[in-house]
Amino acid sequence: MKSSVEKLSDTRVKLTVEVPFEELTTEIDQAYAALAQQVSIPGFRKGKAPRQLIDARIGRGPILEQVVNDMLPSRYERACQENELVVIGQPNIDITKIEDNEFVEFTAEVDIRPEFEVPDFSAINVEVPAIKVDDAAVDEELDNLRARFGELKDTKRKLKTGDFAVIDLKATVDGEVVDEASTEGLSYEVGQGDLIDGLDTALRGMKTDEDNEFTAKMAAGEHKDKEATIAVHVQQTKERKLPELDDEFAQMASEFDTIEELRESTKTQVEESKKNQQAATIRDEVLKVALGETEFALPESIVDEQVHAQMHQLLGQMAHDDAALASVLESQGTTREEFDAQTRKDAEEAVRTQLFLDTLAEQENPEVSQQELTDHILFTAQSYGMDPNQFVQQLQQSGQIANLFADVRRGKALASAICRVNVKDDEGNEVDPKEFFGDPETDEETEGAESAETTEQTED
């Protein structure tokens, strides 16, 4: 078999492959055997007719067509390997020549991963926020816990931030009621500030059965950007009564007997949460710097596929109703053109990141254990709210196990590279990334020791 590569761009090539007939013996035998079972020739049992009679009955064309179909996948894959092509996406294949009993020639245009140099991670410097766990942070977390066990009780006093009110709203523009901005019996927390500009200011100081008015610009709909008069009526006012921070609360809200024990546990949880946030920030900042130092072209067809997949998923949630999507975009103050542009930008960023991490994974060459793959599958199934066994079945049916394996490999490669980065917090303290991402040398030694131990137990 002969093959050659023509570079069409930095991310696309044209592969020309010529396969001589002497290499197609197996496929030719299989084609005749299959067709012999499908034709009836007097004097011969099915499957026993000689090739000359099969050619005479149905012609040589169906044989050659079957041979080409059978040989294409393996010869295409072999040509890619021989030419060391890292292909991404599906090829466009054309049969260009068939010289019977001599050779078959085909071409394949396909996207390839662009070649580029991964930056030296030991030369990367990043700064991240320092971890701060003070009494205020612990108190805030305890207050959140108290709020979960709090009770709403009617009150007759004036409303203030943090109180709850049951309200009616009526919006009018030029004397016309705007139905989409009007409602009755709405439960609202004063201070949440994400409903209508000016509502919180109007509610503060109001009591049950009182009325007030304020003006605000309409955010969406046919009256978008027009000044509206908003009438607000308070049906009920409620305040949240929080339990006292004492031993009784600790016993009710946790497994601890005293508030001191609960506070200490909460402090540990806050510290762990802050560390996780710092680790995520380190990862994001390092990847941002590394990508910023690396330039390479993106395969347009792969970006197009990503855009199409995102749009298909989004429209699928709206029963493929373009009008519904337009309405949602309008309510968010954006246009379809702006949305499409942002979708493409996001797709390009996703493709760029994956291609970079794939190249990094080849350079780092991390080992992925079966346990690591299993853990990742369980975590992914949990994030989708699916039964793990059902999730695995879906992965196997759709051939997606390899993709999850690649995800784990990319993650391990990035973690290994991050361990070489220089990290400081915004207070000037050095941060050891190995504390979050592991020490590759130590991990290898541990894996080696575990492997040796397993071998010894097997031998015993």
**Phi then psi dihedrals of residue 117, to 5 deg:** -95, 130
Residue 359 has pLDDT above 90, yes or no: yes
Helix and strand numbers (H, E) in the chain are 15, 12
Least-confidence region, from 66-75, 168-177, 250-259:
168-177
Q: What separation in angstroms does the CA of 402 have from each of 81, 261, 285, 357, 406?
A: 19, 46, 28, 15, 6
What pLDDT shows up at residue 449?
45
For residue 441, the model assigns a pLDDT of: 58
What would the CATH number be for the domain defined by 151-241? 3.10.50.40
Number of C-beta neighbours around residue 67 at 10 A: 22
* 2-112 is a CATH 3.30.70.1050 domain: yes
Q: Is the pLDDT of residue 407 over 80?
A: yes
For 239, list phi and psi in degrees, rounded to 5: -120, 150
Instruction: Return the higher-pLDDT residue of 452 and 433.
Output: 433
Region label for 16, one of left (φ > 0), alpha (ψ between -120 and 50) or beta (otherwise): beta
pLDDT of residue 442: 55
Can you give the residue ranges of every domain in the chain?
2-112, 151-241, 366-460
pLDDT (mean) for 67-81: 95
Spatial separation of the C-alpha atoms in residues 295 and 344, rounded to whole Å: 18
Residue 119 confidence (pLDDT): 96
Instruction: Report pLDDT digits (tens) over 167-217.
Output: 999 999 988 888 877 899 999 999 887 678 889 999 999 999 999 999 988
Beta bridge partners of 127: 424
Task: State residue 273's pLDDT score.
Answer: 93
DSSP string, 150-183: -EEEE--S---TT-EEEEEEEEEETTEEEEEEEE
CA count, 13 A, side-chain hemisphere, 262: 21
pLDDT of residue 446: 46
**Is the per-residue pLDDT at 239 higher than 70?**
yes
